[in-house]
Each structure stands twice: as structure tokens, then as C-alpha cells.
């Protein structure tokens, strides 16, 4: 008995965007999530084609279980569990769109997406930044008198308020109210909108940047060319945010951390200030309070102090 033939992995001709499973999937995402998931799909397409294809030129409908299982194996070895599972989620969603568009049979689709998620270690990821570390980061930015230093101070102020990298670069000038300190996060992760109120010092950092940036509509933060020239008001990328934070951390001699650790610090500091979990959940833009609880990095000392409040009025024997 002959094995069934498998379609070619490279599209023979471009598909209309309305019939392209990757394009349909990406178009369904919030603007802030789209670049990250497109990057994930490009990486998967590259793995499957030895670098010959990207998300738009790979024939996703040709994928079978042997392909998706191989992708899972590579991602498991190459990335942290959370990153690998996010990429597998994108893969499953594209195949789901291919099925809805009648590009792949129900049997082939069910087999291809039948992939176990990659188990993550129970150890908490990331860390909480100390107040003096955040101060050191701001100080090295302020020591840089160029527009880069002012913009990077504003960037760190935004991250300190719990924004994701994708949310920072998606901000527009109109989303910031200097009078109230309100910052409108529109179409965040999961298409959730929220309002974050920035503290006075963060408002000052953004306002100083706007003095240089000007009042032209467009993205709040911009790339800056050599010589301090802002240029054509292009949008920054999440990867650029990562590189800026890494650069400023090295200058400030702060122990290595990720931009997402600002969110962990943000949630932990709010808990320390007495905020309830629902309030922290709303400010962080989490769908579930269970997710918010995972961002708590207050440590054992906070737990010990909390337990000290449980007084049983026992008098020690002399």
C-alpha cells in the first residue's frame, strides 16, 4: 500500500490574504501582540524549510503530525517553556485557520495539533528589581544628556508602570494625559483595554521627553538616529526595548534582568503597598487573578512579616 502523498511545504503561488491561514490568524490579534506572534511564525517556517520560507511563503496546510512534532522537539530544546508554548500556540492557531478555510482535512488537522504543551519548572521565573537598581537605571539615563538619555528615561518610566514591551511601543501621543498622568493602554494582550495612572516622577520623565519629541501625532516613543535626530517618527520594536534595557543595565552595573521583570516588580510593589489582588490584576491587564498571583516576587521576608501579625496573645513562661 502506497503512503499518501504530502503537499509541498513551499507555496507554489501566493495566496490572497483572506485565504492565507497565517495572515488571517495575525489579523485577528491585537496590534501589540501581532509582531511577537509573526516573529514566532517566521521562526517556525524557517525551521521547517531550512530558512527558505517565512510565515507568508510556507504552505501551512501541508503540515502533518511529523512536521509539528519535529517543531515541538526543536522548540523544547531551544527556548524556555513559556516561549516554546507561545510559539506552539501560534502554530496551532494557524492550523486552525487552515482548517476553517478548508485548506486541510479534519483528520490531518487533528493529528497535526495533537501536541502536548511543554512543562515549565515550578521555580518562579524572573526577579524583582530593588529600588536602588531602578534608581541606578534612571541615573545612567539622566547622565546621558543626549535625546537618547531623555527617551530612555521615559521608556524605563513606562516599564516601571507595569507595561509590556509590546504595549510600550504601541503607545501613541494621544494615549498620555500629562494633567492626570493617565495612560490609556488600548488593545493590550487579549484585546484588553485599561488605564494606568502614572506617579508624578514618571509623568515628569514623559513630559521631558515630549519637550524633545514635540507634539506631532504618532507613536509616543521613537527610534533616534545618530546625532540625536528623531527622523520620521517610526515606531520602535519590542526587540529595541529589550536591547535598550540591556544596554542601560550594563551601564548601571545592575544584575541582569529582563524588561518583563519590571512587571513582576510592579505587581510585587503594589501588593507591598496594600493593593488587593483585583486592583493589581486590573492595573497589570491580566485576564485572571491567578496570573497576577504568579507575578508576586515579594519573597519569604514579606510572608514572615505577614505571619507576625497573627498574634495569639501567648505570654512566654519566665
For residue 211, being part of any structural domain is answered with yes
Q: Residue 5: pLDDT band by 50, 70, 90 thresholds?
A: very low
From the list 132, 86, 93, 85, the residue with the least C-alpha distance to 112 is 93
What's the whole-number mean pLDDT along residues 275-290?
A: 84
More confident residue, 208 or 280: 208
d(CA 22, CA 90): 9
158 and 187 fall within a common domain = yes
Q: Is the pLDDT of residue 1 over 50?
A: no
**189 in the same domain as 62:** no
> Which pLDDT value is given to residue 4?
45
| Domain final residue pick, 112, 145, 168 | 112
Residue 310 has a pLDDT of 65
Asked, for residue 9, whether it belongs to a domain, the answer is no
The answer for residues whose C-beta is within 8 angstroms of residue 52's C-beta and 6 or more apart is 10, 46
Answer yes or no: are the C-beta atoms of 133 and 254 closer than 8 Å. Answer: yes
Q: What is the pLDDT of residues 122-154, one digit of tens each?
A: 566 788 899 999 999 999 999 998 999 999 999
pLDDT higher than 60, residue 6: no
Q: Which domain holds residue 263?
A: 131-299
Compute the distance between CA of residue 150 and CA of residue 145 in angstroms, rounded to an integer: 7
Beta strand 194-197 pairing with 182-185 = antiparallel
CA atoms within 13 A on the CB side of 35: 15
Mean pLDDT of 234-249: 92
Position 209 in a domain: yes
Look at the chain and report how many structural domains it folds into: 2
Question: Do 190 and 30 meet the contact criterion of CB atoms below 8 Å apart?
Answer: yes
What is the percent of the chain where pLDDT is above 70?
A: 88
Amino acid at each position: 500500500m502506497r503512503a499518501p502523498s504530502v503537499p509541498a511545504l513551499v507555496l507554489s503561488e501566493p495566496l490572497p490574504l483572506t485565504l492565507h491561514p497565517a495572515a488571517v490568524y495575525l489579523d485577528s490579534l491585537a496590534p501589540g501582540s501581532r509582531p511577537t506572534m509573526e516573529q514566532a511564525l517566521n521562526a517556525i517556517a524557517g525551521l521547517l524549510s531550512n530558512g527558505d520560507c517565512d510565515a507568508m511563503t510556507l504552505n501551512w496546510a501541508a503540515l502533518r503530525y511529523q512536521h509539528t512534532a519535529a517543531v515541538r522537539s526543536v522548540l523544547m530544546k531551544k527556548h524556555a517553556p513559556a516561549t516554546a508554548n507561545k510559539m506552539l500556540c501560534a502554530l496551532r492557531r494557524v492550523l486552525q485557520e487552515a482548517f476553517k478555510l478548508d485548506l486541510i482535512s479534519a483528520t490531518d488537522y487533528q493529528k497535526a495539533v495533537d501536541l502536548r504543551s511543554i512543562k515549565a519548572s515550578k521555580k518562579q521565573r524572573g526577579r524583582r528589581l530593588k529600588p536602588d537598581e531602578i534608581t541606578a537605571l534612571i541615573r545612567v539615563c539622566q547622565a546621558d544628556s543626549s535625546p537618547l538619555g531623555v527617551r530612555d528615561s521615559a521608556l524605563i518610566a513606562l516599564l516601571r508602570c507595569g507595561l509590556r514591551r509590546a504595549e510600550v511601543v504601541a503607545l501613541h501621543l494621544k494615549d498620555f494625559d500629562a494633567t492626570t498622568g493617565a495612560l490609556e493602554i488600548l488593545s493590550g494582550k487579549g484585546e484588553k483595554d485599561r488605564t494606568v495612572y502614572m506617579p508624578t516622577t514618571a509623568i515628569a520623565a514623559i513630559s521631558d521627553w515630549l519637550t524633545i519629541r514635540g507634539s506631532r501625532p504618532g507613536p509616543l516613543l521613537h527610534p533616534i538616529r545618530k546625532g540625536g535626530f528623531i527622523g520620521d517618527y517610526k515606531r520602535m520594536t519590542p526587540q529595541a526595548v529589550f536591547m535598550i534595557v540591556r544596554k542601560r543595565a550594563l551601564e548601571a552595573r545592575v544584575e541582569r534582568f529582563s524588561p518583563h521583570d519590571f512587571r513582576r516588580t510592579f505587581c510585587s510593589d503594589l501588593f507591598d503597598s496594600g493593593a488587593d489582588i483585583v486592583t493589581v490584576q486590573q492595573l497589570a491587564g491580566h485576564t485572571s487573578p491567578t496570573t497576577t498571583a504568579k507575578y508576586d516576587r515579594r519573597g519569604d521576608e514579606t510572608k514572615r512579616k505577614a505571619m507576625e501579625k497573627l498574634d495569639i496573645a501567648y505570654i512566654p513562661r519566665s
